[in-house]
Amino acid sequence: MVDGTEINDLAERRLDTARYGPTLAESAAMRGLAPFQTLSLVVFLALAALALWFWPGRVADGLIAVAAFTFLTLAIWRVVLILLSIAPLPGPPVPANWPRYTVLAALHDEADIVGQLVERLSRLNYPPDRLQGFLVLEAHDHETIAAALAAPRPDWLAVLVTPPGKPQTKPRALNFALTQATGELLTVYDAEDAPDPDQLREAAARFADDRPGRLACLQAPLRIRSPVSHDSRFTDRQFAAEYAGLFETTLPGMARLGLPFPLGGTSNHFRVDVLRAVGGWDAWNVTEDADLGFRLWSGGWRLGVMARPTWETPPGGLAHWLPQRTRWLKGHLQTWGVHTRRPLRLGWRGALALVMTLGAGLVSAAIHGLTLAWVAAAVLVSAMAGLSPETPVLALCVLVLGTASAWLSCAIGARRAGTPYDAGDMIRAPAYWALLSVAFVHAAWRLALDPFTWDKTPHQRDATGDAGASADADHETNDMLDATAPLRLSAGHAAAPQPVA
């Protein structure tokens, strides 16, 4: 056993070996517009000025038509992804040899929950002699360090302390841990996660079954448990349905199309050599996961999805939901800025995926609140005047199809994930979408004034236990999960660092 001083000394000695992300041109650390972005903005403003000068009466109609066409396209896009995601993933064959696997969990101010996480990681059904794991902690976080050292950890799980420095973010801690990784494959979990015990086996099998050898990352589905507190029931249920729509329909559909997508912040499974080749995570991007998905694609690699889920708890009431969503939207703005500096690197398919995921999400978040306010005002004014509200066909089609496609994505995703989503949730969904506009305004403001601050979401010990994860793990297991599959020792790896224990 070592004390905090010795741990900090160890972190300092390893400081010179740490890599902190991609080049400046590919990082959110570089602020301001790139030449292409400046040129695009100047051309756009010039065309807008000319349109207002020569056709002032038609500009508003043109904008409405463009907006309507855009959102009709997004509605059709959602339906296409739903249809593509229907077929279940085929089970990959059992690999002849299980590769060495590194498991990372970056924690900060998580003393109350670290014991629960260790217990859950201990259940991972993977050969222990092929596992390396780190609880990656910050040097000043003495309470979490003490709790992690006191927790009964398996032999393969060690405590690794990140040296002090800026920015103090999760991706910086992960980059430091990457320098110590000896696995061929690597995954990342969050403090509140309850991964399916067989998730590593499925990922290893899918990587082994990748004949072209271009698969760099697999995203496991993230599923939200039912809310514990009635005080946050509204945000919890909407958040769970939103997650279900993303991880059960959107990402599987995009993977079927062979397109890149923004990764989730947890349960990503990587090839370590590829992760190092692209520079790891961007320590200055507060949604490093979204950025990394597109950076891998820019490097010529492919992303995929898997079936074994990870269960998480919802963020809670508005006081916790709003800072989390603000950080996500701020990071998506950062990621959009980074990957539009040189959009040709993405190719047309990558650029399409960027627009249809981050671009569409940002625009939708920006206008949801305004749209709801406009509809409510039109109905209210018409009612007070004793008239029927005007219903332009185009606007009505956009409203109906856009809303219906969003409901359909959430409903189908929720059914697949075992998440409750009923008619009452659908009726209340527009109010939840309107809250996204509040978060967007806050995110834009924070991006301008405080771009690199990481708004931490507090986590509490899960009072419901592992009911969701256990139920999912009880499903029929295929041959891929046979624990008796032959193992091999991988050659060419450096010796594992001495764990802090």
Task: Return all residues near 249 (Cβ < 8 A) that are at least 6 apart.
Answer: 78, 81, 82, 85, 409, 412, 413, 416
Identify the H or E element spanning 185: strand 185-189
Per the structure block, which two tokens stand in for 70? 């855009």
Per the structure block, which two tokens stand in for 103? 């498991």
Query: For 72-128, how does the pLDDT look when each residue is reduced to its tens digit (9 = 90+)?
Result: 889 999 999 999 999 888 888 888 899 999 999 999 999 999 999 999 999 999 999
CA 490 to chain centre: 31
Give the largest Cα separation in the chain, rounded.
Answer: 80
Which pLDDT score, from 0 to 100, does residue 13 have? 42
CA distance 237 to 233: 6
Across 369-396, average pLDDT:
76
Sign of the torsion angle spanned by Cα atoms 361, 365, 366, 372? positive
Query: For 330-356, how does the pLDDT look when each residue is reduced to its tens digit (9 = 90+)?
Result: 999 999 999 999 988 999 999 999 999
Closest of 478, 488, 472 to residue 123, by C-alpha: 472
DSSP 28: T
- Judge contact between 175 and 14, C-beta under 8 A: no
Task: Return all residues near 364 (Cβ < 8 A) that are at least 6 apart.
Answer: 74, 433, 436
Query: For 195-242, how does the pLDDT look when each residue is reduced to its tens digit (9 = 90+)?
Result: 999 999 999 999 999 989 999 999 999 999 865 566 788 999 999 999
SS3 126: coil
| Percent over 90 (pLDDT), the chain | 62
Pairing of strands 194-195, 222-224: unpaired
Helix axes 347-354, 288-298, angle to 10 degrees: 160
* Reported confidence tier of residue 10, pLDDT bands at 50, 70, 90: very low
Identify the H or E element spanning 292: helix 288-298
Query: For 244-280, how does the pLDDT look when each residue is reduced to its tens digit (9 = 90+)?
Result: 999 999 999 999 999 999 999 899 999 999 999 999 9
Judge whether residue 5 has pLDDT over 70: no
Query: For 400-455, how does the pLDDT look when each residue is reduced to its tens digit (9 = 90+)?
Result: 888 899 999 999 999 999 999 999 999 999 999 999 999 999 999 999 999 998 87
Closest of 261, 237, 235 to residue 249, by C-alpha: 261
- Judge contact between 108 and 137, C-beta under 8 A: yes
Per the structure block, which two tokens stand in for 98? 């299980």
Closest of 152, 164, 270 to residue 219, by C-alpha: 270
Closest of 496, 463, 57 to residue 229, by C-alpha: 463
SS3 137: strand
Rg for the chain, CA atoms, rounded: 24
Model pTM score: 0.86
Helix axes 114-121, 142-150, angle to 10 degrees: 40
147-156 residues labelled b (16+ CB within 10 A) or e (exposed): bbbebebeeb
Which pLDDT score, from 0 to 100, does residue 389 have? 67
- Judge contact between 415 and 86, C-beta under 8 A: no
With tokens 């032959």, the residue in question is 486
Closest of 172, 185, 187, 175 to residue 105, by C-alpha: 187
Judge whether residue 490 has pLDDT over 50: no
CA distance 396 to 329: 28
Task: Return all residues near 15 (Cβ < 8 A) that are at least 6 apart.
Answer: 163, 165
Which pLDDT score, from 0 to 100, does residue 338 have? 95
* Type of residue found at 329: L
* Type of residue found at 170: K
